[in-house]
Amino acid sequence: MTFLKKYLTISLLICSISACKKGSDPTPVTPTQPAKTVSVKDISISAMPFNAMVYNVTPAAPIRVRFSEPVTTSTVNGAVSLRDAGGATVPVTITLQNGDSTLLVQPASPLPYLAKYNFRISEAVRSASGGGFTTPVSSNFLTQIDSSSKFPVLGDDALLDLVQKQTFKYFWDFGHPTSGLSRERSNGDNNVVTSGGSGFGIMSIITAISRGFITRAEGFARIQKITGFLKNTAVTVKGAFPHWLNGNTGAIIPFSQKDDGADLVETSYLVQGLLCARQYFSGAGEEATLRADINVVCNRVEWDFFRKGSEEVLYWHYSNTYNWDMNLKIRGWNECLITYVLAASSTTHTIPATVYTNGWAGNGTNGFINGNTYLTYQLPLGPPYGGPLFFAHYSFLGIDPKGLTDQYANYMTQNKNHTLINYTYCTTNPLNYFGYSDRCWGLTASDIPNGYTASSPTNDIGVIAPTAALSSFPYTPTESMKALKFFYYTLGDKLFKDYGFIDAFALKDPWFADSHLAIDQGPIIVMIENHRSGLLWNLFTSCPEVKAGMKKLGFTAPYL
């Protein structure tokens, strides 16, 4: 091959290869970016972390959500919701900031105080690149308590007057029209009356006369009606009354299947009130007749029968149908000291002192003696942390604990320290319940959501009962007054009703009872009065048989 020929061949080959390469190049394409998922980096409400239930949120409640990626604006509105506790949608304003990577949500108008809400962001959110949302949100919050005063501010004495007078309406306006006895509760069968609560009611009537809420004649007529019904109509078993009676007929209403007879503890609360009335109405004529009728009712209680023969203990129940099947011994420490005091005081069916020492006190065993220190306060008697506060109330509506001692305890120290343990527990709030404070405290037996329980530091479900702090005025006047002012001024629109304070409430998951109970309303009136004047203490402990009975059991006190 000649040089020229070779050159032409190579040139044509290079040219051919070059031409083929140019003709086969595709149009340049920018690579497709993968869609990025989006998640929540952090979320806050009123500048507080919002990863779990949040309390004490301002009514404006600004919610700020930071996303890991910008989001598509059109997907946000349908994905965000705010709902109240009933599930109703709350209008909100939604704003995207910081290049659509921060979400600001605010209620269209301020939210109500002390209300629970649920905030949601659903999976419908998409990132700006079309990616899915990997961390849907569902969080709850509770708005703060409205701290403004709900009622005009009164002096302390005027406030105590008002609370006693309003609470008294439970026993006066709501008393059973036929028997005059106290109805068990405001939201139950209005023919169910309670023997123990009626004893508290009698003491409340005496207080009302003394305070000028009703006249002496009005109060006398009501107690005369009550006593006549108890003497002539109400069914008793061995002279003792059942827990519940029919307010029209006096028939026994069973408290439970086998609790269809005598309830000795409830009877003791009733007798406690009757004896106070006997001492209060000390005049001649009709008042003398009333005193005689009260003696008939009290003296026929066969306290000694409830030893079940000759046992060294009293039993709580006896039924003509089930006999001793309930089999509940009355042992301390609890609310039943009054039962042993009255049994020992009886002039017709008394018990020896050994029944008190061996039965009630168990010779200091069976958990009667405590002596341990809880939250810096030593507790002479009873269960750890003292139990529910009604232990310090029911027996001591009539029994004056001031200077009262026996071989086991100083009873003012017992009740005061029990109350201070309860108060300090609520103040320190180990379970972190929203609302507990030095102004919002008091654990005792009360209604609770869907039931009833005896609340205490060892059985605390977050429910406060106003009767706990208010019936403790004789033991903790400063702490109880703080609670009263908070219950009345701050929460009064929710707590203070026609018959005084409702039975109980919870702030952690807002709930307010629709009930008033005789056994909770009565101690409020009576113990506030004992704090103010000692009226019921003075009446009960002036009974000659009570003095003799307490001395028999080994008590000493200035009034004995």
Q: Which amino acid is at 552?
A: K
534 vs 23 pLDDT, higher one: 534
Examine the pLDDT at 9 and tell me if it is beyond 50: no
Examine the pLDDT at 263 and tell me if it is beyond 70: yes
Summarised one tens digit per residue, pLDDT across range 449-472 is 999 999 999 999 999 999 999 999
Q: Please say whether the beta carbons of 388 and 538 come within 8 A.
A: no
Examine the pLDDT at 4 and tell me if it is beyond 80: no
Residue-averaged pLDDT of the chain: 94
**pLDDT computed for residue 19 by the predictor:** 42
**pLDDT computed for residue 367 by the predictor:** 86
What confidence tier does 33 reach under pLDDT thresholds 50, 70, 90?
low
Summarised one tens digit per residue, pLDDT across range 100-159 is 999 999 999 999 999 999 999 999 999 999 999 999 999 999 999 999 999 999 999 999
Which of 151, 265, 166, 193 has its CA nearest to residue 525? 166
Residue 331 has a CB neighbour count (10 Å cut-off) of: 18
What confidence tier does 32 reach under pLDDT thresholds 50, 70, 90?
low
What confidence tier does 241 reach under pLDDT thresholds 50, 70, 90?
very high
Examine the pLDDT at 524 and tell me if it is beyond 50: yes
274 vs 25 pLDDT, higher one: 274
Examine the pLDDT at 395 and tell me if it is beyond 60: yes
8-state DSSP, 432: -
Burial (CB count within 10 angstroms: exposed 0-12, middle 13-18, buried 19+), residue 349: middle
- Tell me the CATH number for domain 40-143: 2.60.40.1220
Summarised one tens digit per residue, pLDDT across range 306-333 is 999 999 999 999 999 999 999 999 999 9
Examine the pLDDT at 12 and tell me if it is beyond 50: no
What confidence tier does 5 reach under pLDDT thresholds 50, 70, 90?
very low
Q: Please say whether the beta carbons of 193 and 247 come within 8 A.
A: yes
Examine the pLDDT at 237 and tell me if it is beyond 80: yes
Q: What are the domain boundaries of the chain?
A: 40-143, 156-552
Examine the pLDDT at 73 and tell me if it is beyond 60: yes
Which of 61, 42, 44, 43 has its CA nearest to residue 142? 61
**pLDDT computed for residue 34 by the predictor:** 83
- Tell me the CATH number for domain 156-552: 1.50.10.140
Examine the pLDDT at 201 and tell me if it is beyond 80: yes
**pLDDT computed for residue 2 by the predictor:** 42
**pLDDT computed for residue 20 by the predictor:** 39
State how far the alpha carbon of 137 is from the alpha carbons of 49, 100, 300, 327, 423, in Å.
13, 18, 68, 55, 38
**pLDDT computed for residue 28 by the predictor:** 54
Domain 40-143 and domain 156-552 have a common topology: no
Summarised one tens digit per residue, pLDDT across range 481-507 is 999 999 999 999 999 999 999 999 999
Examine the pLDDT at 419 and tell me if it is beyond 90: yes
What confidence tier does 538 reach under pLDDT thresholds 50, 70, 90?
very high
Pairwise CA distance, residues 305 & 308, whole Å: 6
